[in-house]
Structure 1
Amino acid sequence: MSKHLFLLFSLAALTCTHPDLSAQKKKTDSSGRHTSQKKERYNISIVLPVDEAQLKTEKGRPLMSFYEGIRLGLEQLDNEPVMLDVQVHMFDQTNMQTFDNFAYSRELKQADLIIAPASGKVVEDIARFAREHQINFVSAISPFSGNVEENEYFHIVQPTLNTNIAAFTRYSKSVFPKNKKIIIFDKAKENTQDIKKGLSGDKNVVSYDLSFAPFDVSSITRQLSPDEPTVIFVNELNPQKTTEILKVLTRIPTNYQVEVFGMPTLYLNPMIKGHANPNITYYYTAPYHFDNNTAFVKKINTRYQEVYNKPANDMVYRGYELIVWYGSILKKYGTGFQYSKYDNIDSPYTPYEIQAVKGDNGHINYFENQFLYIYKYNNGIFTLIEPK
């Protein structure tokens, strides 16, 4: 049995018996900033944006997997001398009044770390709460930075869209420095300027606005280079609309070689893994790759099957490694770990690269993981690229 205290709270159970937290006061320096404290016990709050009924549905299954991964991760931390009191809180994110009531609960105010697999406005709300109470908050699955500014307690481990764009444009310039590059976009789409910014200095970039130009095989083929690969950036996050674009691209004559860079949601499209178009290579970015042949994944798979009698998935691995990594960081550096060396030494698998993202005034807006793999698919063959 784990020696770590693990409590599960629903909204209706916030008056349950819990550890005595009254004496745990946060210390601040002369500027009012939270100073790092090392403790024998740390309080970690896991916030799940579902209620108990939703957690048992198909929609709630990824969050349940994340939660189960955390439970397995605590087993690894059993050998650590520092104790973790892990409390799991659930709330219905469709009811923001519920969140307001929940957010100011005594348990959450006294947390040393909040981890939440949340998205959208909930992330902004928790980030605001974390700053107000000087509690580090790890946004576990969302790339959303929202309107958060000057918040040194906000940590994003799923890289923002801007970071993904910077990664794939940088990679494309390094591999195809002199090739023609086409940006396919709709005039209403954001991020086109971010792609152009990432390609700045490249004189071979042209734009293809779907709202003005006809998008069919003959029209796009006329834009391609016949003698060398043409690089195409598909600025579309919606999987269905991305599929519509890919259906046109896959009809390009096979004597034209095309290198297609998509947004992170491109991984959802089964077309990229097919064998029908060997002249097209697809690329997208992602921070995770859990290889079933590695010792880490095999270990988790075996233990998860023993405990839950079902196969593990990516959300299990992510929950596992986040609780192990941040539990270890708390042990090493204390509650203000972001002011110390923010290393990835104790991350069990993913080589996170946490960087401070600053605003125009030079102040830290948030911390973000900026490590990304490049996923490459050609003719059904997958290659994982780790950019240098």
Structure 2
Amino acid sequence: MAKEIPFFKPDIGRSEREEIESVLALEGETKIEDLENLFVKKTGATYAVSTNSGTSALHLAMCAMDLKRGDKIICSVNSFPSVPEVVRHFDAEPIFVDIDGEDYNIDLDAFEKILSENKSKKLKGAIVTHVGGQPTDLTRLYEIAREYNIRIVEDASDALGGTYDGVPIGATGADITCFSFSPHMKSSIANAGMLVCENETFYERSVLLRNHAIQSDGWDKYGNLEYMYDVVDIGCKYDISLLDAAYAYAQYSRIEKMIERRQQIAKMYDEALSGVRHVTLPVRKRDHIYQLYIVRIDRNRDGFARALKGRGVHTGLHYIPLHLLSYYKQKYGLRVNDFKQALQTYQQVLSLPIYHNMSDSDVEYVCDAVKEVAAAHI
């Protein structure tokens, strides 16, 4: 019988259980503040605002920027649907850009070309996704942003704990950076997101709007609203629960060990799968925390994935280009060949399992399965 290797499996250790138990026992101070303070400490950002998901953090970022109907936001066509979705909620318009064929991040040449040809004052900024845990070329990105005076929001869902030239993601120069604690899970054990920034106005607006834009003298540690309150804007319900915050705090407290283990696994993959027929390994261009390990299959990717699943190895696809999804294709009249690099990449990429609690034997099993399938692949 084949061994079962899920695409991702959450890790619940002693620290997670202890943090959650302390919340259930109604002991101590709120874990929400602990989590936000830990983010400030680890990233070096000035402000941190916790949310109930990474998508909520992205939406709050658009709220903080005061996005309006008809405004335009640039984003990579190789992103999760949450990216253009938060733009469309304002009846604003996403502008899609093709990708770099090596790291699958936004193509900065195409990005700059769009800005150089832009005649609209409605173009406010860009949401830039760090695919798989490898950031885009932030030095160049920020130079372009300064030249054309636009805001940069980094979608760091895959870059929790990551760095760029040794500097923590979240303090490298973006206007706002958003993180997710469960970027690739449909049904998470716990959901949490985080928004970090340097701008006090963005911070205060995010804090206000994440909980119905309620102003009050305060809330007690159990979440009870004080007697009198006012509502000063149209807000959201994006605040994180104490239990989610406790779990996220425990996870983030040991994020360095998680990243170190994923990097070890990536090295094992690199060594075992180098030169395997039909399989091209990831290109590392910058600091990489391997939230995803994305390979390319030179032909019949879907058949390759089915064969791996038959051996118990579950895989992922990151991502289906946004212009191929029904809503955006129909809304903007997009054609299949409009983003050629993203299309070619989509037809070949396959994400192998990589999570820090994979055992060496799990990794070896995946490698053996890939080799077996590759040897028989036609």
TM-score with structure 2 setting the length: 0.32
**Bigger CA radius of gyration:** 1
TM-score with structure 1 setting the length: 0.31
- Normalized per residue, the structure richer in strand is 1
